[in-house]
Structure 1
C-alpha cells in the first residue's frame, strides 16, 4: 500500500485528544556495605516523582506535538559521609566549599521536546528518553537519565523499526543540570569531553518469537560502537519453551581517540528453559580486548546477559558464567509475586592493560593475571493486582560481591540492599 494511502487511513488522534499525563512515585533505598577497611559505607534514601506529558499530533498530513517532563527528588536520608550510591547528588555546596558525601535536601529538573510526524516517520528534538543498545538512559536509580538532542524513528515496513539520532548532552539520574556525554569506565581530562554521540539502528521481528537488533554509534573522538543481537523463543507446548540468544558488541577507537587505543569485542550467550512457572538460564560472557567493555556513563546501554546488580562482568579479557533461576508465584495462587536468584563468576587478566593508557590505565593491576570475582543476586518483587493500590510494586534486591586480591583495584567487596516502591498514576 502506498505511504500516502497509509497516512490517510491512520486518522491522527489530535493534539489534545491523544494527550496523556502520567506520574510515577518512586521511593528508593540503598544500603551498600563496603567490606574493605577504610572504605566508607553508602546509605541513601529518597523519594522521587517523575511526571511525563505526551501530546497527540495535530491533524493533517504533517502532525505536530509536544512532550514534556518534570522530576523532583527528595532526600529522606543521606547525611554526611554516607552518600555516594548515586541515588542522590554526591555533594552540595556549603559555606566552605563542597562537603563530600552530604547530599542536598532536594534536586529537580524539567525539559521538553517537540515532535513532528509525517507518514510513518517521527522526528523529536529536545529532551529525550532513549532506550537502545548503544544509548539508553539509566533507569536503575530513583530518577531516570535523559538526553538532549534529536531522534528519528520510522515504521513504514511491517515488523521493522528504523531509528537514528544525535545527543550532545545528558542529565544524569542523580543531578539537576546537563553535562557532556562521557563513558562509565574511561577517565577523561575535564577539557576533553566528547561533543556528541550519533547513532542509527534497526529492530526487526520477522517471525513470532524471533527478534533481532542491529545498531551503530559514534561517540565523537572516542569510539565507534556496533551492536547485534538475535533472540528466539521456541514454544514447545503450553508449558515448555526454549530461548537461546546472542548479544555482541564491537568497540573501536576513532578520531582523536581521547580514551586511547580501543579494540574490544564483547559477547554473551544465554539459553533459557521455561517449564510452567519455572525458568532456568545459563549464560556465558566473554570480553576480548585489553580495555573493559565500556558504555555511556550512568546509562543502561549494556545489553549483556551477565550485567548484574553490582558488577557487569565486563573487565579486560574477562570470561564469566551465570546460572539464574526465576519463579512466578502465580503457580501457587499468588499472581504478581515473582523472584529470581543468580550466581555469576568471572575471571580476567588485568596485567595486559596499558598502565599509561589515556583512559583505562587505572584498570592495570600487577597482581591481576588471574583476577577472579563472583556475585550472588536475589530479586523479589510484588505488584498489587487489584484494589485502589493496583499496580503498586514493591521490589527487594540484594547483591553480594567478592573479588580476589588482584581484582580489588576494580570493584570493592560489598553487600548491597535495595528497597524500591513504585506507584504509577495516570492523570489523563
Structure 2
C-alpha cells in the first residue's frame, strides 16, 4: 500500500507542475464587466400529494381531505460578474428569487412551495434578494455572502419552486489539475419557502416540532480524478450542536465499446452527534453502491443501500440536498434506522430513435428491516418495510425561439407499513425555461 500512496503523490506533483506551467483562470480574466453573465431561470411546478390513508399523521390537521395540491411560479435572476484583472481578482454575485402562487388553499397547503399566512394559506408572492463578494488568486476562489452550495455534506435543496440559500464563506481551490479542495463556514440557511435569514427555523409542517435552525457549519472536502474514468472524494462537516459527518465517494467508469460502458458509484456517510445533539442521539452509518450498464440509448441500474446504527441518517439543517445516496428518490430516501434497500432502474434516451430531447425513466425501490421507535425511544417494530415506484418523462425543446424549454412529469407511488409511514401518491408537473441574457 505504501507504493500506491507514493504513486498518488507523484501523480499529484506531476499534475501540479503541469498546471502551474499553464495559464491560470485569473491570468485569463477579461475583466469585471467583460466576463459577466446574467441568467433568468423560470420554473412552474404543479405538485399533488395524495395521502392514501386519508387525513392521517402524514397529512396533519391542515389537510382534512388527506391531500395537498398547489401550483406556483418561481423566477430567479442570477448575475455573476467576472473578476478584475491582476494578481487578485475581485467580483460579485447577486440574485433575486421570487415565487408567485398560482393555485393553493387552506385545506390543500403544505407541499413546501410557499410560505404560510396567518390564516393557513400560501403566500401570494415572496421575494428574496442576496449577493456575495468573491476573490480569485490563480485558480483559487474565496466567496463570502449568500450562495447555493452542492457539497455532499452541505447542499442546498432545489426540489421545489425556489432553492434554499445559505450565508457564509466558501473557499474552492483547483490549483492542481484533477484535484479540488474546498473549505467553508456557514452561519445561516433560508428555506425554500422563507425569504429571510435563518427562515429554516420554525415549526415543521409534518411533525409539528420546533427546528432551532443552523448556528454554524464548518466543512472541508477534497476530490481527485486519478484518471478520466476513476475519481474519489472525501468530505467532512461539523454542524454545531447537531452532528459531525464524514462522506466518501468512489466512482469508476469502465468503457466496453463505443456505445457500451459500466459505471460503479459508491457513496457513504458516517454521522455522530455533536454538542447538544439537537437532532437526537445520532450514531449512523449509511452507504450505497450503484452499478449502471449503458448500451446505446438504454441504461440499466441496480443499487443497494444499507443503514446501521441507533438512528437513521439525519440531514436538513445542513441543507435539504445533503443526501448523496443512490436510493434517495422522489418521495423517500430509504434512510431509516437499520434499513436495507434495493433499487432497479431503467432509462432510455429517445434521441437514438429520432426524438432528441425526449427521455424516460422508471425505477422500483424496496426497503426492509427498518427499526421504528415510539416517542420515548422504545422499539415498536424491528422489520418495518417501505417501497416506491417512480415514473418520469422529460422533453427539452432543441431549437427555435423556445430552445431549452423543458416539460417534465414525475410520478411516485409510495407504500409502507403503518408503523413506519402512510401511503402516498406524489405527482409533479415541472416546466422550466432558462434564458441567458448576457
TM-score normalized by structure 1? 0.91
What's the CA shift string for 1:250-271, capped at 9, x where partnerless?
Answer: 0011223233322111000111
Corresponding residue for residue 50 of structure 2: 33
- Is 1:87–2:106 an aligned residue pair? no
Rate the CA distance shift 1:174–1:182 in 2: closer, same or farther, 3 A.
closer
CA distance in 1, matches of 2:185, 2:26: 31
User: For 1:398, which of 383, 391, 411 is the aligned residue?
Assistant: 411
- Is 1:56–2:49 an aligned residue pair? no
Corresponding residue for residue 98 of structure 2: 72
- Is 1:47–2:67 an aligned residue pair? no
The correspondence of residues 91-130 of structure 1 with structure 2, limited to 5 A, is 91-92=116-117, 98-100=118-120, 102-130=121-149
CA distance in 1, matches of 2:374, 2:251: 35
> Which secondary structure state, in structure 2, belongs to the residue aligned with residue 331 of structure 1?
helix
User: For 1:228, which of 212, 234, 248 is the aligned residue?
Assistant: 248
Cα pair 1:383 1:392 within 8 Å, conserved: yes
What's the CA shift string for 1:43-63, capped at 9, x where partnerless?
Answer: 010011001000000111011
Cα pair 2:41 2:435 within 8 Å, conserved: yes
CA distance in 2, matches of 1:182, 1:223: 17
Rate the CA distance shift 1:110–1:245 in 2: closer, same or farther, 3 A.
same
- Is 1:376–2:389 an aligned residue pair? yes
The more displaced of 308-317 and 9-18 is 9-18
User: For 1:328, which of 349, 369, 379 is the aligned residue?
Assistant: 349
> Which secondary structure state, in structure 2, belongs to the residue aligned with residue 236 of structure 1?
strand
Corresponding residue for residue 16 of structure 1: 33
Corresponding residue for residue 204 of structure 1: 224
Corresponding residue for residue 427 of structure 2: 417
Which structure 2 segments of 5+ residues have no match?
1-16, 60-65
The more displaced of 53-62 and 174-183 is 174-183
Deviation of 1:332 (Å): 1.0
The more displaced of 30-39 and 368-377 is 30-39
Cα pair 1:181 1:296 within 8 Å, conserved: no
Corresponding residue for residue 268 of structure 1: 288
Rate the CA distance shift 1:133–1:200 in 2: closer, same or farther, 3 A.
same
CA distance in 2, matches of 1:369, 1:5: 58
Cα pair 1:187 1:259 within 8 Å, conserved: no
Rate the CA distance shift 1:186–1:389 in 2: closer, same or farther, 3 A.
closer
Runs of at least 4 residues off by over 4 Å: 1-9, 180-194
> Which secondary structure state, in structure 1, belongs to the residue aligned with residue 326 of structure 2?
coil
Cα pair 1:46 1:77 within 8 Å, conserved: yes
The more displaced of 7-16 and 119-128 is 7-16
Corresponding residue for residue 307 of structure 1: 328
Cα pair 2:369 2:383 within 8 Å, conserved: yes
Deviation of 1:5 (Å): 7.7
Q: What is the aligned residue count?
A: 410
The more displaced of 295-304 and 179-188 is 179-188
Cα pair 1:116 1:123 within 8 Å, conserved: yes
CA distance in 1, matches of 2:161, 2:82: 28
CA distance in 2, matches of 1:141, 1:189: 22
Give the CA RMSD over aligned residues: 2.3
Rate the CA distance shift 1:151–1:320 in 2: closer, same or farther, 3 A.
same
Rate the CA distance shift 1:340–1:210 in 2: closer, same or farther, 3 A.
same
TM-score normalized by structure 2? 0.89
Cα pair 1:272 1:280 within 8 Å, conserved: yes
CA distance in 1, matches of 2:399, 2:200: 42
What's the CA shift string for 1:348-387, capped at 9, x where partnerless?
Answer: 3324x4743xxxx5xx662x22111100001100111111
> Which secondary structure state, in structure 1, belongs to the residue aligned with residue 112 of structure 2?
coil
> Which secondary structure state, in structure 2, belongs to the residue aligned with residue 405 of structure 1?
coil
Which structure 1 segments of 5+ residues have no match?
93-97
Rate the CA distance shift 1:399–1:188 in 2: closer, same or farther, 3 A.
closer
Deviation of 1:188 (Å): 11
Cα pair 2:96 2:128 within 8 Å, conserved: yes
CA distance in 1, matches of 2:230, 2:424: 38
CA distance in 2, matches of 1:180, 1:49: 19
Deviation of 1:153 (Å): 0.6
